[in-house]
A and B are shown apart, each in its own frame.
Chain A
């Protein structure tokens, strides 16, 4: 524990302290040593834990496990939990994405209510040309007229950027959905739906035409300058990531004709704007076998973990018996099953490595996973800059007050 418990505060860290620093212990019913202890002063004056960019750069490692276009798994080693969590939070909630926001209903005679249909349309993930998506500006949506408080704030803020609250080609994408269901006819479709139905056919795909409305029925209508960025030839036009998403079901005579306005938003506003299916991380598990586990015990021990975590190898002293050896801790799910058996629960110590984060970033399809992670790092930097640079400018203008304090106690400063 802290420096005062060391016999000599100037001595380097003992092995158990080093382990405490590096590992979060996983015990049968508890988790201990969870807090990070790498702050200056915690381990005594001999330990230098202050921020050092070159030391950080040397210790930082990024190892990829797989990098498919919309699913990346990588290990980020050497950062603190608060920073890794900041990246995860930004991935979920603060990266701008395009999604359907306003649905203007011209005709909806289907059984799906307007608002339910609009909700479903909003949740459809869209994709399109990256360059165009970055070019798109923000659309400031005016609050509903019956929310007086929000309306008052809105009217007060109105002025300079009133242009941002007008839908135009640089902030809104228009998608049209126009589907009508009818009976299949001999003339148009080569089969007589009504006749087949009389004969007992019950499959709606055969009886009717357009009875299922899929996401692929959304038609992109480029407005103004959008044709430059989103065009058919280069396959950059706005389209749903998965064309087979079922939006509604219709029967003959029913029609859905809506116009959808898509705008940029962030996940914090509505989950439909979140660019990741999910982004999560876990810490690397650590299994420390303190005393050899041999023979039948070793086999039982291996069965307490997922396949591939524990391997059996000929024991060093007695080559007839097999001993348990840790092969791949990354596959472990830390179920603590081995701590439930008296034979080896005292021979093993479970834990997690405090600064080794195994990230899994699954994108919904609008952006690539590795690009999303880079965006989240850049966004955290931008947040710091907007508070820091602007903060710095402010302090510079108040340098006078700063000088005053320094001048007053000038005699007391050490150096």
Chain B
């Protein structure tokens, strides 16, 4: 097992500058420079601890993730950086882990709203 996932310099060029994602004209999600396939920092605009901490929890629940943490670089700017590192010997890339974390959060929210509605209706029925 030689390469061990270390990608040569040429291939990293595409990730050198922050890869962008545009939403409503402002960059919503950017990959910060210096990323590799298994380790990347993402910068999400207009988000704070509300999404950050919850997303960090869901990404950490992925057993392929070696490290996940989030930070808000400065409280005066609504930017949130989230760093994801996946184990080198798995197929999951950092972007995959981020995507899975977001999808897991969506599914969890669906389950919670379902159970909440059920419990609320049951309680109301019992009261009347």
Contact = CB atoms under 8 A, between A and B. Distances in A.
B93 interface: yes
Interface in B90-128: 90-91, 93, 95, 98-99, 102-113, 115-120, 123-124, 127
A177 B25 CA distance: 40
Nearest to A49: B61
A401 B117 CA distance: 43
23 contacts: A51-B58, A51-B62, A57-B115, A64-B120, A74-B120, A83-B54, A86-B50, A90-B50, A374-B116, A380-B109, A381-B106, A381-B109, A381-B110, A383-B50, A387-B51, A390-B29, A401-B14, A405-B11, A405-B36, A409-B3, A409-B7, A414-B89, A415-B91
Q: Interface residues of B: mostly helix, strand, loop or mixed? A: helix
A412 B54 contact: no
Contacts of A49: 61
B49 to A, nearest CB: 7
A94 B98 CA distance: 23
A62 B118 CA distance: 9
A317 interface: no
Given A381-B110, A391-B21, A406-B91, A50 B120 contact: no
Contact of B102 (A51, A387, A408): A387
Interface of B: 1, 3-5, 7, 11, 14-15, 19, 21, 23, 25, 28-29, 36-37, 44, 47, 49-51, 53-58, 60-63, 89-91, 93, 95, 98-99, 102-113, 115-120, 123-124, 127
A56 interface: yes
B50 A39 contact: no
Interface stretch (A21-29, A250-258, A325-333, A392-400): A392-400
B57 A62 contact: no
A57 B111 contact: yes
A385 interface: yes
B109 A395 contact: no
A50 B63 contact: yes
A405 B111 contact: no
A408 B91 CA distance: 12
Contacts of B95: 391, 395, 402
Interface of A: 36, 38-41, 49-51, 53, 56-57, 60-64, 67, 74, 76, 79-80, 82-83, 85-86, 89-90, 93-94, 157, 370, 373-374, 377-378, 380-381, 383-388, 390-392, 394-395, 398, 401-402, 404-406, 408-409, 411-415
A76 B108 CA distance: 13
A390 B23 contact: yes
B42 to A, nearest CB: 9
B7 A384 contact: no
A134 to B, nearest CB: 17
B104 to A, nearest CB: 5
Nearest to B61: A51
Contacts of A61: 115
Contacts of B4: 412
A163 to B, nearest CB: 16
Contacts of B109: 377-378, 380-381, 384
Contacts of B15: 401
Contacts of B44: 387
A56 B111 contact: yes
A411 B91 CA distance: 11
A60 B7 contact: no
Contacts of B105: 380-381, 384, 388
B115 A82 contact: no
Nearest to B98: A391
B119 A384 contact: no
Nearest to B124: A67
Contacts of A38: 61
B87 to A, nearest CB: 10
B99 A395 contact: yes
B113 A378 contact: yes
Nearest to B60: A39
B35 to A, nearest CB: 11
A62 B116 CA distance: 6
B28 A89 contact: no
B63 to A, nearest CB: 4
B115 A62 contact: yes
A271 B96 CA distance: 38
Give the residue among B21, B102, B108, B112 with the most A Cβ atoms within 10 A: B112
